[in-house]
Amino acid sequence: MNNRQSMYGSIAVAISIAGVIVSGCSAKSDAPTMVAVSGTLSIDGKPQENISVTFIPDNSKGTQGPASVGRTNADGKFTLTGPGNRTGAMIGFHKVTVACPFNPAGGSSATGVASDGAAPCKLPLSLADPEKTELTAEVKSNAAENQNVVLDVSSK
């Protein structure tokens, strides 16, 4: 019986060691691969502040993963961030949505006009709908190619 116990003990140790080795070698990060993306949004050729820009991976073109969001500054510039405040967007093809602020300072989200004198937000509602937007972008694996995405949309 001693030999049998010794054999089972050796097998148990070997299985444990193999499990540690396999789990260590195959461990991969659950975090998606993201690449830095920034750009400029203009409406009718003019930059507008506080516009939400969202890159949504286009599953129909093989891109999967979380969406990334940015907000324009006074110059219309934006930088995308994903889950966990990670800079960037998934590599691949995206549907792009742009939307007026939900509730501009002192104004109404229905009109997009802020009572503080800020310019009204004039964007077609279709641009805020992932199923209707005509805006698309491709995020390349080389981050340098994603640093000047230009989105020029019409208010009509």
CATH number at residue 79: 2.60.40
Q: Clarify whether residues 18 and 86 are in a common domain.
A: no
Question: Distance (Å, rounded) from C-alpha 11 to C-alpha 20?
Answer: 14
Number of domains in the chain: 2
**pLDDT band (50, 70, 90) for residue 24:** very low
Condensed to tens digits (0 to 9), the pLDDT of residues 79-90 reads 999 999 999 999
Condensed to tens digits (0 to 9), the pLDDT of residues 116-135 reads 555 677 889 999 999 999 99
Q: Clarify whether residues 148 and 74 are in a common domain.
A: yes
Q: Clarify whether residues 1 and 61 are in a common domain.
A: no
Distance of CA 98 to the CA centre of its chain: 13
Q: Clarify whether residues 23 and 51 are in a common domain.
A: no
The residue segments making up the domain with residue 16 are: 1-30
In this predicted structure, the answer to whether residue 45 has a pLDDT above a threshold of 90 is: yes
Q: Clarify whether residues 38 and 15 are in a common domain.
A: no
Question: Distance (Å, rounded) from C-alpha 44 to C-alpha 65?
Answer: 31
Q: Clarify whether residues 24 and 38 are in a common domain.
A: no
Q: Would you state the structure tokens that stand for residue 71, as one six-digit string? A: 């907000």
Average pLDDT, the chain: 79
Q: Clarify whether residues 26 and 40 are in a common domain.
A: no
